[in-house]
Amino acid sequence: MKHYLSFISVAIFSIFIGSQITEGALLLPYWQSLSPVEFHSYYNEFGPSIGKFYTVLTIIAALIPIIISIYAKTINSDALKLSIISSLLALLFVSSFYIYFKDANELFYQTSLSEEALKIELTTWSYWHWGRVIVECFSLAFLILAIVRIQNAHNPDNTLTENDRSR
């Protein structure tokens, strides 16, 4: 596997996690500071674009370990186990959308949550979100381990080849 492909794969996945951390650290506290009327107005205006952004980024991030798994299988690499763990964790963070976030987000669009109900739902949303971020971080860690193992298998002494030096 080319070094630049490895770098791009890890970078994209890391950007995805960074965006998730940003959502939890910046957007969520902002949402929690709003009254129900303000929140529902905000969410109805920006929810669709936020959803589209995260849908695309999540799909791309989740496909990366799956593609690495397929690559590890085709080259018969012992990195396959690590990439499969990363892939399973990726499927877990994707499935969390269908297990919790899809219905919660739909509740936000309905604009019917009282102040107390909204506070409770945003707190629950927060727990799910940060749990998902932890799963994503583990997925990234196993992805990096798999990529490193693949790279080391192609260059076991960890030295630059003549080809690498010329780049």
Q: How far apart are CA 66 and CA 48, in angstroms?
A: 27
Helices then strands (H, E): number in the chain?
A: 7, 0
Q: What residue ranges do the domains of the chain occupy? A: 3-156
Which tens digit of pLDDT belongs to each residue from 67-112? 999 999 999 999 999 999 999 999 999 999 999 999 999 999 998 8
Looking up tokens 């939890």 gives: 24
Q: How far apart are CA 102 and CA 88, in angstroms?
A: 20
Check whether 135 has a pLDDT greater than 90.
yes
Banded pLDDT at 154 (limits 50, 70, 90)? confident
Residue 115's closest CA among 35, 51, 14, 30? 35
Beta strand spans in 20-121 (E): none
Write down the pLDDT at residue 4: 87
